[in-house]
Structure formats: C-alpha cells, structure tokens
Structure 1
Amino acid sequence: MSRTFAQKALERASGESGLEPGRIVDAYPDLYMSHTASWRCIRTLERMGVGTLYDVDRIAMVMDHISPANSAKTAADHRLCREFAEKMGIRTFYDVNAGIAHIVLMEKGHVRPGALIIGTDSHSTIYGALGALGTGVGFSEITAAWVTGRLWMKVPESIKITIEGPPPAGVHPKDIMLRLIGDLGADGATYCSVEFHGSYPAAMSVSERMTLCNLAMEMGAKNAFVPPDETTRAYLAEAGVAPDDYVELQADPGAVYRQEEVIDTRELSPQIAVPHTVDNVVPVEEVEGTRLDQVFVGSCANAKYDDLAVAARYLKGRTVAPGVRLIVTPASATIMSRAAADGILSTLLEAGATITNPGCGACAGNGGAMADGEVTLSTANRNFRGRMGAYESRIYLSSPATAAASAVRGVITDPREVTV
C-alpha cells in the first residue's frame, strides 16, 4: 500500500501498520512542547495527584509568550515552571531570554525528521519544515502525555500542494501562503496533513520552509510537511544532530491524497490579508495607500534571520515614516545575536525601529498594542480583532519585504516599487 507522510509518521509513533485515514491510534510522541502557560499543565498534574512522569527527556518547556514577565501573576507562573522543571529533572527548559519555542527547539536540535511532536501552540505545524509531524494540542493533552507518554490521534487525510517557481522579485514565502490560504479558506485543510512538493519548496531554505508549514495551520491543517533533503540535513548538522539520530520519512509514489493543488508562483504579486481574517486575502495593489500607525516584524512565521535581513534591505539608508512605529522582535536570541554581528540590527535601529527582546512579543499581545482606530501591518500569522490591542483597531498581514517598504512610506506599499 502506498502511504502518505502522515500515515508513515503515525505508524512509526504507534507501532501499528496499515493505517488508513480516519483510524484512531495510541501514538507515543517524541517531544511534548509547552510554552509560557506550562503552569496550566503543572496545576492540572497537581489536581490529578500524580508525581511521576513518563519520560522527562521528552518534555520541552519554553517561556516565550510573555517574556520577560509583565505582571506579578506572570512572574509567579514563570517561577512555578522553573521550580517544577528543576524538581522533575526536565533538562529541556528555556527561559525568557531564549525566544519563541518553535524556533528555539529547531535551532537547538530538538526537532528531527520522522518525529511526532505535540505542542501547546497551534503553530506547532512548523516542525514539518524539518520533516517532523508537528501538531498543536491542549494543555490537558500535554499533561496526559507527561503522565502516560501517549495520545489518541486520528490518522489525517492528506493534501498535496505542488509549488513551482521561482517567484518574481518582491514575492516571498509569506505571499505564497497568504494566496493559498485565501484560495482554500480558513477551513480548507481542516484536520488534514498538508504536504508541500515541487521545485520551489525544494529550493527553499529551512527558514523559508518554516513559513510554509507555520501558516498551513491558518487553513486548518493538522500538520504540514516538506520532504527532508540535503538542505534539511545541513541544518540538522549545524544544530548538532547526527544522521543516526533521525529517520527520514517520505510519501510513497502513488500515495492517495484527498486533493491536490498546483501553484505557479511566477506570476504572483505580493499579497495582503486584510482585517479581520487570515483568509481575506487580496493582491497588494488593492490596498496600496492604506495609512499605517504601526508595522510589526516578528512572530514564529516571519522573525527569523532571513526575514530580518529582507526587512533591513528595504530600510537601509532610509528612515521610518513620521508617525509610524516600527517594532522588530527577533524570533530567538541566536537570531538576534547573528543579526547584531552582521549589522542588521544597526540598520534597523538607524532607520528608526524599536528592537525588542526575542520572543512572541506583539503577536501574543505582549507589547505593540494599538488604540481604537489604529492600523498595523504585521508579519505575524493572525489578524483577528483585538489581537493587538483595541477591538476597533485593524491588522493587515504581509511579508517582511512589504512590511519594511510600507514602514518607509507610512502606507501599505508594493515592495516592488522600492529599490533595494
């Protein structure tokens, strides 16, 4: 039987064979990620009266969503997590200085091809950029996995998306995903495994693949996947992961998909998600000139090193438009350090950007709040009402290129109109 990636990954995680979509199995995840709100898992564990964990080496805790603490309550939550990790011998613990959980775990070699990874964040689909099956779950599911080591999972149907390229100048992975989300809709891939194939994903860096897999969640995907290759192996080697420490899984030729889509990026223009849903997507030409109060370059979708480098190219030798606040939040301390060493942070600061500490930042409502009537152009993955402050504010989504070009002009701008 020809099998998709998801079928193979769940067969590996469950020890069963011949799995068909719709089958429910007991799967044993390789890694359980919980972020700042890990305190919820700890309190649930206390109510359960359980003091023994299945495998502490499969637990990863990252204090990323509200970092550093912005209230006494959050500080107490952080302290609870630190004390719990020390007491239970949890070695994979990253504090408020590390950055966004997804990016940190990938940089540090905790994410590997073929692995099943569950996390208390819907954008855990990002782990598919390294050939893993990553999916978001609730705090109760994470707590159950802490204790039992397993989780009920249904084998998803799969969607094959073939992306051909290369795209024209000014068009980036974020634009491609926004167009795809706009075409398929926010529920177009609900509980499906989305596989990305074609010449363009094969030519992408791991960072760019992260953008694809991260945003797959915004069309309802259970998980996303880019086939591992030499690019993947080089990234893992740099992260200190030996080839013997992972098993690459590939979909079989002839695997059965619920649907197949083909995207030709060569004629695509920069895309914008307009308020107040991610699937409300239009070409940039339709909203050019929209006045901005704030631009945010950040989030697990687009605050990686190459995202900051793209933004810096548009801002070099220029300044942010009067009246516009440009907030840049690197995804991790490693990325921030590299950007500092390469002069990228200096370019951003000289242009008038405010650089904040690595983490989720404004994407998670931690800073960068707007007042009623204000407008932000953001590189994050969501633009729901009230996500960045006032309910009557508006959030548009774009690539880092469009965001940086727009920060210079003070209005939504087609990056192809700005010379770099």
Structure 2
Amino acid sequence: MGMTMTQKILAAKSGLAKVAPGQLIQASLDLVLGNDITSPVAINEFEKAKATRVFHPDKIALVLDHFTPNKDIQAAEQCRQTRNFADKYSIANFFDVGQMGIEHALLPEQGLVGPGDCIIGADSHTCTYGALGAFSTGVGSTDMAAGMITGKAWFKVPGAIRVILTGKPQKWISGKDVILHLIGQIGVDGALYQSLEFTGEGIASLSIDDRLCIANMAIEAGAKNGIFPVDEITLAYCNNRFQREPVIYTADEDAHYEREITIDLSSLRPTVAFPHLPENTRIIDEAGTVPIDQAVIGSCTNGRIEDLRIAAKILKGKKIHKRVRCIIIPGTQAIYLQALREGLAEIFVEAGAVFSTPTCGPCLGGHMGILGKGERAVSTTNRNFVGRMGHIESEVYLSSPAVAAASAITGQLTDPEILAQ
C-alpha cells in the first residue's frame, strides 16, 4: 500500500522509508512558530527545562499578532517577555509591531514556509501552510518549547480523507465557501485526526489565497492538517520568495484514504456558518433575514489582498449601513501597503469602514471589535463558538469577504450578487 502526501513528508522527516497511519514517529522540524499568547507559556517551559540554547535561531518564528498593538498591561508584558527571549537567543524571524502581520498570512508571504516542510506552531491554524504542500499542524505550548530545544516533534501518523475538487467556481465563490461547504457536509469532527488531502482538476481554479483559506480551516473539521498538491501556481508563488528549495511530494496511486468526497466547485453558492459551530452552514439563499451589528473582514483566514479587493469591489461608491460597524483588517504590513497603493483603503474609509493595522484582534474576542450582549457579527474569521468574539449571548456568522461586505451595506446577511446587479 502506498502513502499519501502527508505520510511521505512525515516519512522523509523521520528518516524512514515508509510510515503507516497510527504509527508513532519523531520528525525533524523546519520551523517552530509561536505568537504573543502562546510563546510566553512555551518560554516558561523552556526555562523550566533549563535549556540554554535553541536548536536553530533561524528556524523559529515569533510573531506578536493577537493582542497587538497591546490592548492592556498583561498583553504588553506577554510581548515584552517574547521580545526579550527573541533578543537573548538571536531569533532571526521575530516580528514586532510595524513589521509583524497575522502569523498565518505573514509566514507564507515572507517565504518561511513552503513545499515539503514539516512545521509546528503553538496556534491551531498552523495547518494553513498545507496550501503550499507542507505538513503543518498546531501543537500546545509545551510541544513548542520542546521543538525550540530539540528541533523535533512526536507525531502519530494520520490517516487521510481525499477531497476531490472538480469544476470552476462561479462569481463571488471563494475558498471560504469551499471549506464552509465541506465542514457543513462532514461536521466539525468529520476529519478527526485525519489529513484532508485536496486533489482534482478543480484545484487549478483556486488561487494561493483560496488554498491558504481552505487549509487554514482544516482544523475546524477536526483534521490534523490540510494539504494541497504542489503545482505551477504553488511554484510561481514560491519563486523568489521561499527561502529553501521546494521539495515536492506526491501521493502514490495506491495510497489509502479512509473516505473520498467530491465537491463540484461550479455548483457552490455563497455559504454562511450560523452560530455556534462552523458546521452549521446554510447557503445564502436559505439564510433568511438576519440583521447584523458588525462586519469583520480580515483574520488569518481572509485578510489577504484578494479578500480586500473583493470587499472593495462591493463597497466602492456605497455606504456602510448606519447600524453596522465594519472593520477591515489586512493580514500583513505588505498587504496594508498594497491596499493603500491600489486605492482600496480610500474606498473602505469613504464607505464608512474602519481600516486597521494588522492584528488578530476581534477574531478571538481580543480587541478591535468586541461584541456586546445580543449583538450579531458577520465575520470572515474561522470560528463562531459561543462567546468567541465577545459576550456569551452574542452571535457570529462566518462568511466570505463578498458576503461580509454586501451584508455591511444592507445591514443583514446578503447575497453579494444582489448588490452587483
């Protein structure tokens, strides 16, 4: 029996000719990631272990993005501890205010992750980098500390689900609609500790930004990771960007999959996840009348330049509904600058939206858009659990940037096609 893409990467990184689902392995790491919330916990464990050095100062990335710019004294102290650690151990990839971005938008942009890599991060959405043909997964802060010390991590080799993408998406359909459709179909534990391996001719119709969004939310289906094959689109993105040589792995023809799922991209409609689970999906045609108080466009899922361009296309020449607070957050400084140069920021401000510095902010109920009791938000973020963005009696509706922008104008969940007519 052959191996899947994920299994091949894990075999190579563990120095084995072959691995099988359920097998325990120790793999070498190409990158260890932490942010301003998880890094301090890992640093404390690092010091408890009486470690005196990191395994490689160029293979650790520390990104201050969740509560930055600092929202309070505790956040400032967390960042100060991380900053001091980065300075003490000469961490090359340390990103502070002014240079940082939302970690899972920043690392691909900076060329720190790419095809064939094995990456762990003390953040559950580290699975994002599978979009580039890497094995990447979230871990706890203790595992992050061990990774910084040893450059290795233990894994149980996951089985796999094959997701076959066919057709081409229609206008306004993005990677967010693809992954919400999939999660709605299989549920939040439908891929529990499995690798979601995306294949099929439909992949050629998906941009890197679409793929990053889809891989980002593999964890919302319970998956260990999500991964895309490396094609010309991937290599074009990595060219003159990725800091190592790409290593391309392809699944064997006789690789075993626990199940196969086919999604016809041409049949998809804009999809929204209703409270309080990402699996609680409805197409926009079935959403009914749902008034909103806030719209958030951004996050590690949908804060990339394509996302901002889509939002700007809908918002141009229009005004945000008087009852709605619209908050738009670019994923990185480079995306922020690109949005300025393309005139997108001007469109947002003239429409009555807030255009923020990069931050995770509202996604996890941190800052920059907390919800009060009874308030509803449509958001391009990745989770809509009870109290995720504020009060436990608030509600979060997950959507694409197109739906979020359209809804910000009308004041209720809205099909973007209606405003385009």
Give the TM interval when normalised to the shorter protein: over 0.9
Report how far residue 289 of structure 1 moved: 2.2
Amino acid paired to 1:363 = C
Q: 1:216 aligns with which of 205, 215, 218?
A: 218
Identity of counterpart residues, as a percentage? 41
In structure 2, relative to structure 1, the CA distance for the partners of 1:156 and 1:240 (3 Å cut) is closer
User: Partners of 1:9 and 1:155 in 2: how far apart?
Assistant: 10
- How far is 1:367 from its partner? 1.9
2:7 — aligned with what? Answer: 7
C-alpha offsets along residues 342-366 of structure 1, whole Å, 9 cap, x if unaligned? 0111111111110111121211222
The equivalences for 1:48-87 within 5 A come to 48-87=49-88
* Contact 1:167-1:267 within 8 A present in 2 as well: yes
- 1 CA distance for matches of 2:192 and 2:172? 30
- Aligned residue in 1 for 2:106: 104
In the aligned structure 2, how far is the partner of 1:263 from the partner of 1:54? 42
Which residues of 2 match residues 13-32 of structure 1 at below 5 A? 13-32=13-32
Between the aligned partners of 2:114 and 2:419, the Cα distance in structure 1 is 39
Instruction: Kindly indicate whether the alpha-carbon contact (under 8 Å) linking 1:288 and 1:413 is maintained by their aligned counterparts in 2.
Output: no
SS in 2 for 1:418: helix
Residue in 2 aligned with 1:202? 204
Q: What residue number does 1:305 align with? A: 305
1:326 aligns with 2:326: yes
Shift of 1:197: 1.1
| One-letter amino acid of the counterpart of residue 275, structure 1 | P
Paired residue for 1:280? 280
Amino acid at match of 1:281: T
Root-mean-square deviation (CA), in Å? 1.2
Residue 251 (1) aligns with residue 251 (2): yes
1:393 corresponding residue in structure 2? 394
Query: Residue 409 of structure 1 aligns with which residue?
Result: 410
Instruction: Give how far 1:86 is off.
Output: 1.1
Aligned residues between the structures? 418
In structure 1, the residue matched to 2:117 is 115
The CA deviation string for residues 72-121 of structure 1, in whole angstroms up to 9 with x for no partner, is: 22112211111111111111111133111111111111001001000011
Q: Which TM-score applies when normalising by structure 2?
A: 0.97
**Partner AA of 1:331 in structure 2:** G
Go from structure 1 to structure 2 and tell me whether the alpha carbon gap of 1:205 and 1:149 turns closer, same or farther (over 3 Å shift): same
Q: Distance in 1 between matches of 2:167 and 2:370?
A: 37
For 2:348, the equivalent position in structure 1 comes to 348
- Structure 2 equivalent of residue 189 of structure 1: 191
Name the CA distance, whole Å, in 2 between partners of 1:274 and 1:25.
39
Q: Given that residues 276 and 396 in structure 2 are in contact (C-alpha distance below 8 angstroms), is that contact kept between their aligned partners in structure 1?
A: yes
Does structure 2 retain, via aligned residues, the 8 Å contact 1:329–1:361? no
Provide the rounded CA distance (Å) in 1 between the counterparts of 2:407 and 2:283.
15
> What secondary structure sits across from 2:67 in the alignment?
coil
Q: After TM superposition, what 4+ stretches of structure 1 lie above 3 angstroms from structure 2?
A: none
SS in 2 for 1:153: strand
Specify the alignment match of 2:144 in structure 1.
142
* SS, match of residue 202 in structure 2: helix
1:238 to partner: Cα distance:
4.1
Superimposed CA distance per residue, residues 152-199 of structure 1 (whole angstroms, 9 cap, x where no aligned partner): 101100111011121222222211111110110000001111111122
**Equivalence map 1:29-44=2 (5 Å):** 29-37=29-37, 38-44=39-45
Given that 1:159 and 1:257 are in contact with CA atoms closer than 8 Å, whether structure 2 keeps it comes out as yes
Structure 1 distance, partners of 2:204, 2:251, is 15
- The 8 Å contact of residues 183 and 221 in structure 2, kept in 1 or not, is answered as yes
Any unmatched runs of 5+ in structure 1?
none
Structure 1 partner of 2:166: 164
* Contact 1:302–1:400 (CA under 8 A) maintained in structure 2: yes
286-295 or 397-406, which moves further after superposition? 286-295
- Residue 227 of structure 1 is matched in structure 2 by 229
SS of the counterpart of 1:417? helix
Say which is worse superposed, 295-304 or 144-153, in terms of deviation.
Answer: 144-153
TM-score in terms of structure 1 length: 0.97
Q: Deviations for 1:309-333, whole angstroms, at most 9, x for unmatched residues?
A: 0011110110001111000011111
Instruction: Tell me how far 1:146 sits from its aligned partner.
Output: 1.3
The more displaced of 52-61 and 402-411 is 52-61
Distance 1:259 1:59 in 2: 35
Confirm or deny that 1:130 pairs with 2:132.
yes
What letter is aligned with 2:343? G
* Amino acid paired to 1:251: A
Q: Residues 124, 391 of structure 1: CA spacing in aligned structure 2 closer, same or farther, 3 A cutoff?
A: same
Query: Alignment partner of 2:261: what SS?
Result: strand
Q: Report which stretch shifted further, 320-329 or 93-102.
A: 93-102
| Distance in 2 (alpha carbons) for counterparts of 1:383 and 1:55 | 37
Preserved contact between residue 171 and residue 269 of structure 1 (Cα < 8 Å): yes
User: For residues 326 and 54 of structure 2, what CA distance do their matches in structure 1 show?
Assistant: 44
> For residues 60 and 300 of structure 1, what CA distance do their matches in structure 2 show?
16
Letter aligned with residue 169 of structure 2: P
- Paired residues of 2:101 and 2:332 also in contact (CA < 8 A): yes
C-alpha distance in 2 between matches for 1:295 and 1:226: 30
SS at match of 1:335: helix
Distance 2:163 2:239 in 1: 28
